[in-house]
Amino acid sequence: MKRKSRAAEKVIELAIALVAMSTIASILLIFLFVIKEALPIFTSAKTQAEASLARFFSTAIWQPVSDWPRYGLAPLILGTLKVTFVALLFAIPVGVGAALFTSEFAPRKAKEFLKPIVEILAGIPSVVLGFFALIVLASLLQNAFGYGSRLNAFNAGIALSFAVIPTIFTISEDALAAVPKSLREASLALGADRWQTAWRVTLPGAQAGILASILLGLGRAIGETMIVLMASGNASLLTASLFDSTRSLSATIAAELGEVVFGDPHYNTLFFIGTLLFTMTFFVNLGAGMMVDRLKRKLAGKL
C-alpha cells in the first residue's frame, strides 16, 4: 500500500512538471511558428525577388500592394521609434514622479486612493484607449497645438503613454517601497530634508527597479498595436516631424494581415516584422529581468 502510494506521488509530480513545461513549449512554439512563416525571405529565390533583407533596407518606401510592390521597412521602423519616443518622453517623468510622490510623500489615505486609480488605468483595454485617442484626444491636441494632420505620431505617442504609465508607476513604486526604512531615517537624522532624502537616497537605492520599469514600459510601447493603429493615421512616411501621420511595425501587421495572400512575399514580410518585434521585446524584457534580479540581490545582500 505504502509503496503504491509513493509511486502514485511520483507520477503526479512528474505530470505536474510536464504541464509546467508547457510554458517553455509555448514560448518556443511562438518563436518557431512566427519565424517559420518568415523563413522564405531567407531561403526562397522566388520570395527574394520581391522581399529580401537587402530589399527591406534599399528602398525608403513601404508599398506592398501594387504592381511593383516595395517593402522598405525604414518608414515603419521610424514610425515605431517616433511613437515610442513620445510615449516614453511623457510616461517616464509622469510615472516615476507619481511613484516617488506615492511612496515618499503622499499621506496614507491618498495612497489607498492612488493605487487603485492606476490599476483602473492598467485595466482599460487598449482598444478603448485607441478609441479615446481617435475620437477625443486627437481633436483636443490638434486644437491645442494647431498642427495639420489630426492623427499623427504625437497623438499616438500620448495615447500610448496611458498604457505605459501603469507599468512604470507600479514597478517603480514597488522598488521605492522596497528601499529599507533605515536608509531614509539615517538621511533625515543627518539633517537632509524630505526631498533631499527622496532624491539622493531613496531614488538611487531603487535605481535598478526604476530602470527595469522603464525597460518594461519600452517593451510594451514597441509591441502595443491597437492604440497606434487607431491613433497614428497609418501613413508610412519617412519624415522627421512628430506631427506627421505615421505607421508603426505592429500596426502594419494588424492593418495588412487580413487582406494578404497566404505564402505571398507580403505575407512572409509581415511575419518577418513579427519576428523583429518578438526579438526586440524579448531582449528588452530580458534586460528588465536582469535589472530586477540585481535589485533583489542588492536588497538581500549588500544593504
Total residues in contact with other proteins, by rule CB under 8 A: 88
Is 7 a residue that touches other proteins (CB under 8 A)? no
Q: Tell me how far apart the alpha carbons of residues 37 and 133 are, in angstroms, rounded to a whole number.
A: 33
Nearer to other proteins, 53 or 117 (CB): 117
Nearer to other proteins, 125 or 204 (CB): 125
Is 13 a residue that touches other proteins (CB under 8 A)? yes
Q: Tell me how far apart the alpha carbons of residues 125 and 41 are, in angstroms, rounded to a whole number.
A: 34
Is 94 a residue that touches other proteins (CB under 8 A)? yes
CB 68 to other proteins: min, Å = 26
Backbone angles phi, psi at 239, to 5 degrees: -125, 160
Site track 164-183 with other proteins (rule: CB under 8 A), x = hit: -x---x--------------
Only one of the segments 57-65, 93-101, 176-184, 236-244 lies at the binding site for other proteins (rule: CB under 8 A); that segment is 93-101
CB 7 to other proteins: min, Å = 11
In our burial notation (b when 16+ CB lie closer than 10 A, e otherwise), range 85-116 reads ebbbebbbebbbebbbebbbebeeeeeeebee
Is 21 a residue that touches other proteins (CB under 8 A)? yes
Beta bridge partners of 62: 71
Q: Give the per-residue SS3 of 169-223.
A: HHHHHHHHHHCCHHHHHHHHHCCCCHHHHHHHHHHHHCHHHHHHHHHHHHHHHHH
CB 53 to other proteins: min, Å = 19
Is 34 a residue that touches other proteins (CB under 8 A)? yes
Site for other proteins in 111-140 (CB under 8 A): 114, 116-121, 123-132, 134-136
Is 42 a residue that touches other proteins (CB under 8 A)? no
Is-contact 228 248, C-beta < 8 A?
yes
Is 289 a residue that touches other proteins (CB under 8 A)? yes
Name, in order, each residue with C-beta under 8 angstroms of 68's C-beta and a sequence gap of 6 or more.
none
Only one of the segments 43-51, 142-150, 191-199, 235-243 lies at the binding site for other proteins (rule: CB under 8 A); that segment is 191-199
CB 182 to other proteins: min, Å = 19
Find where cell 510616461 sits. 91
Binding test (CB under 8 A) with other proteins, winner from 20, 54, 144, 189 = 20
Encoded amino acid at 109, one letter: K
Site for other proteins in 208-237 (CB under 8 A): 216, 219, 222-226, 229-230
- Three-state SS for 71? strand
Q: Tell me how far apart the alpha carbons of residues 179 and 204 are, in angstroms, rounded to a whole number.
A: 10
Is 77 a residue that touches other proteins (CB under 8 A)? no
Site for other proteins in 243-262 (CB under 8 A): 250, 253-254, 257-258, 262
Nearer to other proteins, 12 or 58 (CB): 12
Grid cell listed for 54 = 537587402
CB 36 to other proteins: min, Å = 6
Around 92, how many Cα atoms within 13 Å sit in the side-chain half-sphere?
Answer: 14
Neighbouring C-beta atoms of residue 211, cutoff 10 Å: 20
